Structure 1
Amino acid sequence: MSATRIDTVADGELSRSLSPRHLSMIAIGGVIGAGLFVGSGQAIKAAGPAVLITYVTTGMLVVLVMRMLGEMSTADPQTGSFSVYAERTFGRWAGFSVGWLYWWFWVVTIGVEATAGAVIVHRWIPGVPQWAWALILMVALTLTNLFSVKSYGEFEFWFAAIKVAAITVFLLLGIAVIVGLFPGTPSPGLTNLTGNGGFAPHGLGPVIAASFVVVFSYFGAEIASVAATETADPVNTVRKAVRSVLWRILIFYVGSIAIVVTLLPYDDASVSKSPYVAVLDKIGLPAAGTIMDAVVLTAVLSCLNSGLYSASRMAFSLSGRGDAPKSWRKISKAGVPQIAVLASTVVGFLTVALNFVVPDEVFSLMLNTSGAIALFVWLAIACAQLRMRRQLERESPERLVLKMWAFPYLTWVAIVAMVLLIVGMVLDDSGRPQALASLGLAVVVIAIGVVRQRRSQTSPSRSK
């Protein structure tokens, strides 16, 4: 298997100014988003304390996916990451499809996160219209990504640091209350875990259904494999990031959710609305709502920042492979694909506008089309790893510096789990609209990719 860097183009190379500390925080921040701070409330309401099972099982799926991606990324670091690996193992149509679907997910997410951030800031400063705040946030982070990759890394470092600090304090306060060390707040013991209908008050069905919500809150961990190519030592940087995924998920996700369901009844109205604020209110922390608003705003801006970075780098990679406009592969003197960044922000700005103009029509459709893409991307990673591992074992076994555990058995376990999740989404009333819209978009993009591949096979080979 060729090790050609097909992301390197004549116009220049991407900057390698991200440091290990940047990537470490990018990897951590990638799995701590608004989905944890806000979206977790709906999962808790649906499944009860047994939602812990959901977070553990889906978290293990993420760990497997990241291990597979880490194996491929350390063997051959690429800006296009899993899109490149899908192309090499299944053909140009696969790389085209995975790359564009991933790009679409993030450009839609950019608009969603800008809107969510604007809602929070508007509550603080209502004199400025909400749409204006969304515009301000979009412009600010667009400029950050245009300036240099180091500025992106610095912003993401501090965003992630704030999120990590917030969850760490939350965990410490929660543990103190649970063991009876926090003054003025009695420990509930195991009452909230075993009372109110038991650990799984609604049975196992809602526990499984909650996976559809939880799985998307984990999406973003893969950003580390994309960003690693802009570090001085991509192989070791990816290896460290992948190995830290397990403890990050166990501590930040499972640990904090365990605190919530232990301290509060799962059916408390405040839990479904904002579980972390509800816990801080119980502890008696002054201005708990404002504090969590600030943390959620940080998570939102982090997601917007990383989404713009990820979308632009995937666009750059697609351009380098002839699957996007050639202008998108041009590199600035600072080593930034500025046109790719701007192309990604155009859709972000459009998404923000549509959210305010037609929130129940076009915007909702766009949001639905991105709903199941996380599972499609993870499935592509697993399938690509299944083939690429065998190619590497035959041709370049020395490049397997980070191997997938129990290959190929755990790879197949992950593939089956993801297929079942997609089928489950289609069968579930709440998940069906997103699943069908996402599948429809995927079919269209794959069809375009297949047509392009067939046409390229009848023309001179494209340059790598």
Structure 2
Amino acid sequence: MENLNRESGLKRELKTGQLTMMAMGCAIGTGLFLGSGLAIGTAGPGVLISYGVGAIIVLLLMGCLAEMTVAHPTSGAFGTIAEKYISPWAGFIVRYSYWMSNVLAVGVEVSAIAVYMNYWFPNVPGIVWILFFAIVLIYVNSTNVHTFATFEYWFSMIKVSAIVLFILLGAYILVGGPEESKAGFENFANSGQFMPFGWWGIWVAVFISLFSFLGTEQIAVTAGEAKEPDVAVPKALKATVFRLSSFYVLTMAIMLLIVPWQTAGVDKSPFVKVMEILNIPGASGIMNFIILTAALSAMNSQLYASTRLMYSLSLEKQAPAVLGKVSKKGIPTWALIISTLGIFVAAGVNAVLPDSSYAFMMGISMFGSIFTWLMIFVSHLFFRKQWEKNGGRKLPVKMIGFPYLTILGGVLLLSLIVTTWFTPFKMMLQFGIPWLIFLVIAYWIWKKKNVNRHGRTETAAKKFVHKG
């Protein structure tokens, strides 16, 4: 087996529980706490179907990813696999697209953090909080992977605990809550319709649901630093998909049973509405703290992922060599520094578009992740055939229904990407298509430069031998 592991400087210290919590920590963020209202407003009560379809797509994706990651546990993850099994240009484009997506996502989260802190400190400029939390998380990411994982574990634990508490409180309202709450199954059919916007609304909401699942694929990035990846990675992927699917579907169902779908997300988070029904003192402050934690957790994971991806690009000689150097603690420090660019991009966008900077940053950051998901399905089609043809070892996890389920996942995802052109998410393709064109040109220039350099070196060697 060729494990493509050129990352000998990284420490293998991550355990199954840490991998699972890191993936959940990145996925459970503003997509659930804030995006749920948008999803409900797009599909109505039928959003439950949307999240179900989204969970199926993610389940297919994780099946493909688990098999390939166990075969090649490397921080280059899907970029390294795309390079090996499709072509070098595919690896180049996937790596840089996913790296840019995470860099921009760091900017998205840190912009949101400034807004959340304004709730408690309205007189403190947002830039102060942007810099403060940026410094804290850069420090966490620059110490060692164990410290990073510990922080992320507890960040995620707070969010998961909050969701479990929310589900329990929601169940209490449904069973024995105040009569004025008007909670019940009749809220599923307010205005007489379970699907007020038809199948189109449900289909568009599938795309919104996928935003809530983004981040689960980061287990593949962390595999390069996982203890016993053959065991840890499959377990972490299965646990993540099961828990996220259960949390999201249960949470959305409880919201729809308690809060009329027409009001969800119009003026505030559906989570806050449910807590207001319970008349819990300081409910909005509690929710603000949870959302702040969600943003910090997502930012932490995204900074980690973008750092490891840039480190991998350097080892592949597709980025400056200095970005591949690691500290004595096993941290690629220079890759970490350049991956903080999203923070400055967010600050610049906020200065130009103060009222819509968060939505703008979110729109352009989504393309890289969704495109990477699509390429994971494509890579798996190439991977399985070549792995079996070359007599690769028997893997402890294998995607079932190959190639049909792999193709199904890819077709569903591609259809959703095309759909965005006819929705308010059109911005994603308006950014993504030029970005891909730019990367193709950049790869062509990089390849030409490296081929010429290789040719000159080879010619010089021949002359030296001839003279000798």
SS of the residue 1:273 aligns to = coil
Q: After superposition, what is the alpha-carbon deviation per residue over 1:251-289, rounded to whole angstroms, capped at 9, x for unaligned?
A: 211110111011111011656630111111122222221
Equivalence for 2:325: 330
Equivalence for 1:312: 307
SS of the residue 1:133 aligns to = helix
Q: Matches of residues 218-229 of structure 1 in structure 2 within 5 Å?
A: 218-229=213-224
Alpha-carbon deviation of 1:240?
Answer: 0.5
Equivalence for 1:353: 347
SS of the residue 2:73 aligns to = coil
User: 2: distance between equivalents of 1:290 and 1:130?
Assistant: 18
Change (3 A) 1:13 1:424: same
Change (3 A) 1:161 1:370: same
Equivalence for 2:192: 197
Structure 1 stretches of 4+ moved >6 Å? none
Equivalence for 2:460: none
Alpha-carbon deviation of 1:233?
Answer: 1.3
SS of the residue 2:261 aligns to = coil
Equivalence for 1:295: 290
Normalised by the size of structure 2, how large is the TM-score?
A: 0.92
Equivalence for 1:340: 335
Contact 1:41-1:272 at 8 Å conserved across structures:
no
Equivalence for 1:92: 88
Contact 1:196-1:265 at 8 Å conserved across structures:
no
Between the two proteins, what is the percent identity of the paired residues? 35
Equivalence for 2:462: none
1:232 aligns with 2:231: no
Contact 1:111-1:351 at 8 Å conserved across structures:
yes
Equivalence for 1:431: 425
1:164 to 143, 156, 160: 160
Q: After superposition, what is the alpha-carbon deviation per residue over 1:299-351, rounded to whole angstroms, capped at 9, x for unaligned?
A: 00001100100000000000000111100110111111111101111x12312
Alpha-carbon deviation of 1:118?
Answer: 1.3
Q: Which amino acid aligns with 1:231?
A: A
Q: Which amino acid aligns with 1:126?
A: P
User: 1: distance between equivalents of 2:113 and 2:289?
Assistant: 10
Q: After superposition, what is the alpha-carbon deviation per residue over 1:176-224, rounded to whole angstroms, capped at 9, x for unaligned?
A: 222x234666662211002223111121211112223221221100111
Structure 1 window deviating more from structure 2 (240-249 vs 336-345): it is 240-249
User: 2: distance between equivalents of 1:446 and 1:367?
Assistant: 24
1:444 to 427, 438, 449: 438
Change (3 A) 1:366 1:164: closer
Alpha-carbon deviation of 1:366?
Answer: 5.7
1:416 aligns with 2:415: no
Change (3 A) 1:362 1:193: closer
User: 1: distance between equivalents of 2:181 and 2:284?
Assistant: 22
Q: Rg: which structure is higher?
A: 2
Structure 2 stretches lacking a partner, 5+ long: 458-468
Q: Which amino acid aligns with 2:106?
A: I
Equivalence for 2:13: 17
2:56 to 31, 51, 60: 60
Change (3 A) 1:131 1:360: closer
Change (3 A) 1:203 1:17: same
User: 1: distance between equivalents of 2:39 and 2:108?
Assistant: 20
Q: Which amino acid aligns with 2:149?
A: G
Equivalence for 1:206: 201
1:216 aligns with 2:211: yes
User: 1: distance between equivalents of 2:9 and 2:257?
Assistant: 50
Alpha-carbon deviation of 1:6?
Answer: 4.4
Contact 1:48-1:201 at 8 Å conserved across structures:
yes
Alpha-carbon deviation of 1:293?
Answer: 0.6
Q: Which amino acid aligns with 1:277?
A: V
Q: Which amino acid aligns with 2:344?
A: L
Contact 2:109-2:299 at 8 Å conserved across structures:
yes
RMSD: 2.2
SS of the residue 1:303 aligns to = helix
User: 1: distance between equivalents of 2:245 and 2:253?
Assistant: 10
Q: Which amino acid aligns with 1:235?
A: D
